[in-house]
């Protein structure tokens, strides 16, 4: 079999989401074949990212600066605060390029099954930011799952005393979606939230 | 969007086989979440592998030693030489644990379409090893593809003058395979190579 260093590389690669033991072996061979073009740059970039990237102490986003590039961007509207579960959700909204306010990353959702309670999420930080006085609207953008909705209700309860406006993303038919393939819950929500044309 | 270091990490990860742009993003976030348990060890292992692992000058296997662990293992039969296309094939045979001789990695197959000629493969090295006098049997284990079979014929022509025995892997029904799902070529080969019970 391969030497101990290569075996260790395969084991580490196999722990990445989307790679199993077999594809990790293929990836390791690919890396060894492209040593100068891929393996060494990847090693250097991993170290650089590991050394420099940290969670932003204000919003929880991952960046090499603290506060992060979004929190310090003066062109963004600091009166709009979008609450997301994870950095992946923040990236999804940024990719869409539809939001020009600031973010707040909770770091998960309330989940009794997984033992995640309010103290495990960055909710106190959110309440402190809202009470800071500059935020006028909190947009809750947790996932439309049971855990996400539970968390949304909890956050609403916590933020409501500050008196700022609280909104959530609309539920409805996805753009490009066909009614025939949609679940009853989404169809019901879309009908309930119908808008005048 | 994410910072430039993270973007660069995502781009490098997306070049691994089995990972696309979306799964590379997921992998990057996973690495950042498990910085001490996964990201930093992976960076260190990549650098270690990049620095220490090279192709064996005898057989072409990848190892931190040269000659490699297989070439220097005195318990392995040096009179048996198994010719494979790639290190991945060598690993597959080693995983199966069915071969106790030495290997010779060609580094590809003859392919007019991809512009791979005899000089691009490690065939001269193979002929030199066979002429060295210790090899009694050359087992050709190229893939059962058109390119693999073309390469097998070419190697046979080159090795034949030395007078050593030349064999190839058997074609036939895969163990656990059902006849109903097999292609005509395999069924024909299995019938032609039938053995007395």
CATH classification of A4-52, choosing from 3.40.50.10440, 3.10.20.740, 3.40.50.10860, 1.10.8.420? 1.10.8.420
How far apart, in whole angstroms, are the C-alpha atoms of residue B94 and residue A183? 50
Residues 120-149 on A with a CB inside 8 Å of B are none
Report the gap between the CA of B49 and the closest CA in chain A (Å).
Answer: 6
Average pLDDT of the residues of chain B: 93
CATH classification of B62-168, choosing from 3.40.1360.10, 3.40.50.300, 3.40.980.10, 3.40.50.10420? 3.40.1360.10
How far apart, in whole angstroms, are the C-alpha atoms of residue A14 and residue B19? 12
Report the pLDDT averaged over residues B88-104: 93
Of A18, A46, A49, the CB nearest to B23: A18
Report the gap between the CA of B75 and the closest CA in chain A (Å).
Answer: 15
The residues of chain A that CATH labels 3.40.1360.10 are 62-168
Range of weakest confidence among B10-24, B73-87, B172-186: B172-186
pLDDT given at position B177: 85
Report the pLDDT averaged over residues B164-170: 94
Which H or E element spans position A92?
A: helix A87-96
Instruction: Map residue A103 onto helix, strand or coil.
Output: strand
Residues 78-107 on B with a CB inside 8 Å of A are 86-88, 91, 94-95
Asked if pLDDT for residue B1 goes beyond 70, the answer is no
Report the pLDDT averaged over residues A112-118: 90
CB spacing of A2 vs B41 below 8 angstroms: no
How far apart, in whole angstroms, are the C-alpha atoms of residue A99 and residue A161? 25
Work out the pLDDT band at A1, boundaries 50, 70, 90: low
Work out the pLDDT band at A195, boundaries 50, 70, 90: confident
CB spacing of B13 vs A42 below 8 angstroms: yes
Residues facing B119 on adjacent strands: none
How far apart, in whole angstroms, are the C-alpha atoms of residue A19 and residue B19? 8
Q: Is the dihedral of CA A62, A63, A67, A71 positive or negative?
A: negative
Report the pLDDT averaged over residues A67-84: 95
Are B159 and B168 a contacting pair, CB within 8 Å?
Answer: no
Instruction: Map residue A84 onto helix, strand or coil.
Output: strand
Are B104 and B57 a contacting pair, CB within 8 Å?
Answer: no
Residue A17: which of B45, B25, B17, B8 has the closest Cα? B25
Residue A80: which of A58, A103, A48 has the closest Cα? A103
> Does the beta carbon of B52 lie under 8 angstroms from any beta carbon of chain A?
yes
The residues of chain A that CATH labels 1.10.8.420 are 4-52
* B139 Rama class: left (phi>0) / alpha (psi -120 to 50) / beta: beta
Phi, psi of A16 (to 5 degrees): -75, 145
Report the pLDDT averaged over residues A54-60: 94
pLDDT given at position A177: 85
Gyration radius from chain B CA atoms = 21
Share of chain A above pLDDT 90, in %: 79
> Does the beta carbon of B1 lie under 8 angstroms from any beta carbon of chain A?
yes
Between the CA of residue B102 and those of A137, B55, B58, B81, what are the distances in Å? 70, 15, 10, 5
CA angle B178, B179, B180 (to 5 degrees): 90
Best of A30, A40, A49 to substitute, by most chain B Cβ atoms within 10 angstroms, is: A49
Report the pLDDT averaged over residues A50-76: 94
pLDDT given at position B112: 87
Report how far Cα B23 is from the mean position of its chain's Cα atoms. Answer: 26
Average pLDDT of the residues of chain A: 93
Asked if pLDDT for residue A38 goes beyond 90, the answer is yes
Structure tokens at B124: 């001269």
**pLDDT tens, position by position, B15-32:** 999 899 999 999 999 999
Question: Residues of A with CB below 8 A from B42's CB?
Answer: 9, 12-13, 46
Report the pLDDT averaged over residues B78-95: 94
Residues 6-45 on A with a CB inside 8 Å of B are 6, 8-9, 12-13, 15-19, 23, 25-32, 35, 38-43, 45
pLDDT given at position A197: 82
Asked if pLDDT for residue B196 goes beyond 90, the answer is no
Work out the pLDDT band at B160, boundaries 50, 70, 90: very high
**pLDDT tens, position by position, A150-175:** 999 999 999 999 999 999 999 899 98
Strand pairing category for B54-55 and A165-168: unpaired
Work out the pLDDT band at A42, boundaries 50, 70, 90: very high
Best of B35, B38, B50 to substitute, by most chain A Cβ atoms within 10 angstroms, is: B50
For chain B, give the secondary structure using H, E and C.
CCCHHHHHHHHHHCCCCCCCHHHHHHHHHHHHHCHHHHHHHHHHHHHHHHHHCEECCCCCCEECCCCCCCCCCCCCEEEEEEEECCHHHHHHHHHHCCCCEEEEECCCCCECCCCECHHHCCHHHHHHHHHCCCCCEEEECCCCCHHHHHHHHHHHHHHHHHCCEEEECCCCCCCCCCHHHCCHHHHHHHHHCCCCC
Residue A48: which of B25, B23, B32 has the closest Cα? B32
Report the pLDDT averaged over residues B137-141: 95
Question: Residues of B with CB below 8 A from A5's CB?
Answer: 45, 48-49, 52-53, 64
> Does the beta carbon of A72 lie under 8 angstroms from any beta carbon of chain B?
no
């Amino acid at each position: 079999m391969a030497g101990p260093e290569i075996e260790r590389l395969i084991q580490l690669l196999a722990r990445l989401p989307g790679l199993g033991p077999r594809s990790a072996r293929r990836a390791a061979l690919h890396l060894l074949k492209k040593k100068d073009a891929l393996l060494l740059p990847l090693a250097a970039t991993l170290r650089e990212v590991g050394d420099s990237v940290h969670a932003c102490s204000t919003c929880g986003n991952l960046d090499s600066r603290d506060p992060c590039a979004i929190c310090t961007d003066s062109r963004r509207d600091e009166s709009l605060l979008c609450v997301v579960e994870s950095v992946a959700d923040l990236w999804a909204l940024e990719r869409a390029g539809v939001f020009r306010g600031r973010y707040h990353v909770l770091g998960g959702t309330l989940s009794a099954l997984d033992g995640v309670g309010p103290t495990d999420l960055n909710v106190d930080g959110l309440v402190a930011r809202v009470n800071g006085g500059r935020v006028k609207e909190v947009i809750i953008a947790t996932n439309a799952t049971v855990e996400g909705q539970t968390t949304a209700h909890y956050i609403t309860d916590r933020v409501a005393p500050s008196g700022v406006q609280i909104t959530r993303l609309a539920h409805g038919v996805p753009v490009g979606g066909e009614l025939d393939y949609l679940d009853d819950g989404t169809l019901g929500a879309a009908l309930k939230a119908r808008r005048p044309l």
